Amino acid sequence: MAARTLVLSFDMETDIGSYTRGCRGLTEGTPEVLRVLSARGVPATFLFVAREAQSHPDLVRRVLADGHEVGCHTMYHETMGQPVFDMPGDFFVLESELRGRLELATDTVAQVAGTRPVSFRAPRLFGSTLLLNTLADLGYVADSSLPAYFHGCSFSPYRPSRDDWTLSGDLPIVEIPVFYDADASEDDEKNRGRDQWPMLRLRGPDWFASLCLRMLPRSVVHGSDHVLSLYLHPWEFVPMPETIQIDEGAITFKPFLHHNTGAGAVAALDRFTGLMLDEGVTFATMRDVAERELQAPARA
């Protein structure tokens, strides 16, 4: 029987991504996540923004002590690749700056964790061919930045091409695309509505478990095994506001950024992981999936 595996990962960033500098998700949400994962015996990958790793070294060490993987999520949650959707106020790392910024982020996480990160995700899934080539040069073995919903491509893990990160090739790094609901109809917002995030919170654990079980057979590695990559954020596990005040005005968020955050999200994660385990689905880190794939012949 083919093995079925979920890669559960958390983008360890400030609250509501780039919109705030608050850290309630890191300090209050992460312990709740770790409690659920420990009770279920589920490993996960925690991708730290390097600045936040520096600010919360005890949290990094706790993640490692619980047996999870620590990866990298850039230095400051900056954009390093091609935009998938509009992000007002965003700032971009120039191509000429990319390697230096990645080296700084990698070294910073390594200094805090005591081990060099080998798994990466670009903020907001804004990746690129240059980014994948640079990650491979720096010794990374896994990336999970490809938004399959946007490209309309397969979400099976693969080794990317040196010339186009969305195609298979021979780079010594494994791309583990973020999966999406391939049965959902296309929408008018660049298909973001087909992405798996944040459906665990919005649709609930039973619906999300059903989605994963439907999509797992469509992601094939090693000829028969199935792997899905899904991502969450620690700020989802504490109540997030509908509106925040800033010096020059206010920001009102769409419901998908705050609905059912807090205790509801914790309960959803607990039930979801339990449902998956009951179905015989296993969990693995990004590093573990990538290392297994790298041992297989490259697929053209």
DSSP single-letter state for residue 220: E
Predicted confidence band of residue 198 (pLDDT cuts 50, 70, 90): very high
In this prediction the pTM is 0.95
Q: Is residue 50 part of a domain?
A: yes
Please list the residues that pair with 229 across neighbouring strands.
7, 178
91-100, 103-112, 198-207: lowest mean pLDDT where? 91-100
User: How confident is the model at residue 184, as a pLDDT?
Assistant: 87
CB hemisphere CA count around 208 (13 angstroms): 26
CB 34 within 8 A of CB 62: yes
* Percent of the chain scoring above 70 in pLDDT: 96
Cα distances (angstroms) measured from residue 160 to each of 140, 141, 169, 220, 229: 13, 11, 5, 15, 16
Domain span at residue 259?
4-294
Q: Residue 38's pLDDT is what?
A: 98
Say which range, 26-40, 71-85, 138-152, 285-299, has the weakest mean pLDDT.
Answer: 285-299
Interval 155-196: pLDDT, tens: 999 999 999 999 999 999 999 999 999 998 776 555 677 899
Which among 184-188, 282-286, 292-296 has the top mean pLDDT? 282-286
Distance CA 47, CA 71 (A): 4
Phi–psi pair at 151, nearest 5 degrees: -85, -15
The pLDDT of residue 41:
98
**Residue 299 resides in a domain:** no
**CA-CA-CA-CA torsion for 89, 95, 97, 101, nearest 10 degrees?**
80
Given this model, what pLDDT does residue 96 score? 95
DSSP alpha helix (H) spans, the chain: 24, 30-40, 50-55, 57-65, 95-113, 129-137, 148-151, 199-203, 205-215, 263-278, 286-294
Taking only the tens place, the pLDDT of each residue in 246-275 is: 777 888 999 999 999 999 999 999 999 999
Compute CA distances 201 → 63, 148, 171, 189, 297, whole Å.
23, 20, 35, 20, 38
**DSSP per position, 69-133:** EEEE--SSS-B-S--SS--TT--B--HHHHHHHHHHHHHHHHHHHSS---EE--GGG---HHHHH
**CATH label of the domain that carries residue 99:** 3.20.20.370
Average model confidence (pLDDT) for the chain? 93
Residue type, 39: A
Whether residue 186 lies inside any domain: the answer is yes
Mean pLDDT of 95-118: 97
Q: Cα(first)–Cα(last) distance of the chain, in Å?
A: 26
pLDDT at 8 over 90: yes
- What gap in Å lies between CA 6 and CA 32, rounded to an integer? 20
Residue 84 pLDDT > 90 = no
Q: Which of 20-24, 140-144, 214-218 has the lowest mean pLDDT?
A: 20-24
State the pLDDT at residue 170: 94
In 3D space, the residue among 204, 170, 174 whose CA is nearest the CA of residue 298 turns out to be: 170
pLDDT at 299 over 60: no
Task: Dump pLDDT digits (tens) for 90-100.
Answer: 778 999 999 99
Q: Which of 170, 88, 91, 161 is nearest to 128 (CA)?
A: 161
With cut-offs at 50, 70 and 90, classify the pLDDT of residue 18: confident
Q: 118 in a domain, yes or no?
A: yes
Task: For residue 12, tell me if it sits in a domain.
Answer: yes
Q: Is residue 35 over pLDDT 70?
A: yes
Q: Is residue 123 within 8 Å of 18, Cβ to Cβ?
A: yes
| Residue 39 near residue 57 (C-beta atoms within 8 A) | no
Average pLDDT over residues 278-294: 96
CA dihedral 291, 231, 43, 182 (to 10 degrees): -70
Query: What total number of domains does the chain contain?
Result: 1
In a domain, 300, yes or no: no
Name the residue among 127, 137, 126, 109 with its Cα closest to residue 45: 109
300 falls in which pLDDT band (50, 70, 90)?
A: very low
Question: What pLDDT, on a 0 to 100 scale, did the predictor assign at position 187?
Answer: 65
